[in-house]
Amino acid sequence: MSSLAGGGQPISFPDDHPDTARLRLAEALRPIITMTVSGTPDDEALEVAAEVMERLAAELVAGAGTERRMRRPPDTDRPTVEYFPTSPIAGVVNPIAPPVRLEVVDGDDGAPSEIRATAWFDYPYEGPPSCVHGGVIAATFDEILGAANMVSGNPGMTGTLTVRYRKPTPLRTDLRLEARFLERDGRKIRTWAGMYHGDVLTAEADGLFIEVMPRQMLAIAEENATGPDDGLLAAMRRGVDAMEEDGGPGSPAADA
């Protein structure tokens, strides 16, 4: 199956992929979000659309059940389109994501793998007239810096994100991005990213990330969990226990 993201870039899942239907729904919702923000239909057309969407929302809620959909942890062995499938930035099954599309490339001269990405921001992401919102740019950097850390073997959580806005970044045009791991000092991980319109650097970011051990991440999830997250937490606990039994990061065997 194939569908279209902003800018006409195709996104494809096999027909038997578990997220194929969800991808189709997300792609159908994106132009509705855009038209809600930027379109000029009359009030009658808006009322009709609202009634349809209200019925659809009620049907989806009624069929959703009480359990939250399980999230898969990011896995660099999977295609990049599946790294963060529900993310508000790169999530192809999240209708509020543009989405930003990721690619893994080899680093120069034997350096760790890096991230290249493309983006096409439509009117829902507008800040100053005709420009991408600065907060959206910052969130995009946070996402691709995190991905660069993952593919270099240095995952972590954001500690500090410093963004420099060099020039206004235009809406509704192809943008390219790159992100790379720079260095590591203990648990501190440093990464750089840039956003380009053609050959013009419109913004860049330096990220300081902190390695978080699996049991620390579990404690964060347990503290923040709200609603029906028992299944997610149980899965995380099983994963942490299995990792520690195998001598993974943060386990007594690994620390010995």
- Return the closest-CA partner of residue 180 out of 153, 214, 212, 213: 153
Q: Considering the domain boundaries, does residue 167 fall inside one?
A: yes
Give the pLDDT score at 102: 96
Regarding whether 182 and 244 lie in a shared domain, the answer is: no
Q: Is 112 domain-assigned?
A: yes
Query: Same domain, yes or no, for 147 and 172?
Result: yes
Domain check: are 140 and 206 in the same one?
yes
Residue 67 reports pLDDT greater than 60: yes
Is 84 found in the same domain as 46? Answer: no
Please provide the DSSP assignment of the chain as one string: -EEE-GGG-EEE--TT-TTHHHHHHHHHHHHHHHHHHH----HHHHHHHHHHHHHHHHHHHHHH-SSPPPPPPP-TTS-GGGSSTT-TTT-TT-TT----EEEEEPPGGGPPPEEEEEE---GGGB-STTBB-HHHHHHHHHHHHHHHHHHTT---EEEEEEEEE-SPPBSSS-EEEEEEEEEEETTEEEEEEEEEETTEEEEEEEEEEE---HHHHHHHHHHH--SS-HHHHHHHHHHHHHHHHTT-TTSHHHH-
* Residue 73 belongs to some domain of the structure: no
Does residue 26 sit within a domain?
yes
pLDDT tens digits for range 139-184: 999 999 999 999 999 999 999 999 999 999 999 999 999 999 999 9
Residue where a domain stops, chosen among 40, 64, 88: 64
pLDDT given at position 234: 75
Shared-domain flag, residues 147 and 96: yes
Asked if residue 200 is part of any domain, the answer here is yes
248 shares a domain with 153? no
The structural domain count of the chain equals 3
Higher pLDDT, 11 or 33: 33
- Counting residues of the chain whose pLDDT is more than 70, the rounded percentage is 85
- 48 and 94 assigned to the same domain: no
- Please report the pLDDT score of residue 177 as a whole number: 98
What confidence tier does 3 reach under pLDDT thresholds 50, 70, 90?
A: very low
Q: 111 with 144, same domain?
A: yes
Asked if residue 85 and residue 165 are part of one domain, the reply reads yes
Residue 38 lies in a domain: yes
Last residue of a domain, one of 180, 195, 210: 210
pLDDT confidence band for 4 (50 / 70 / 90): very low
More confident position, 158 or 65: 158
Average pLDDT over residues 205-215: 89
**97-113: pLDDT as tens digits:** 999 999 999 999 889 99
| Mean pLDDT calculated for residue range 66-76 | 72
* Residue 70 belongs to a domain: no
Q: In terms of residue numbers, what domain contains 31?
A: 2-64
pLDDT of 2 above 50:
no
pLDDT at 256: 30
Same-domain status, 92 and 187: yes
109 and 142 inside one domain: yes
The mean pLDDT value for 19-30 works out to 92
pLDDT tens digits along 219-238: 777 787 765 566 667 777 77
Q: Are 170 and 232 within one domain?
A: no
Q: What is the CATH number of the domain that holds 186?
A: 3.10.129.10
pLDDT band at 254 (very low <50, low <70, confident <90, very high): very low
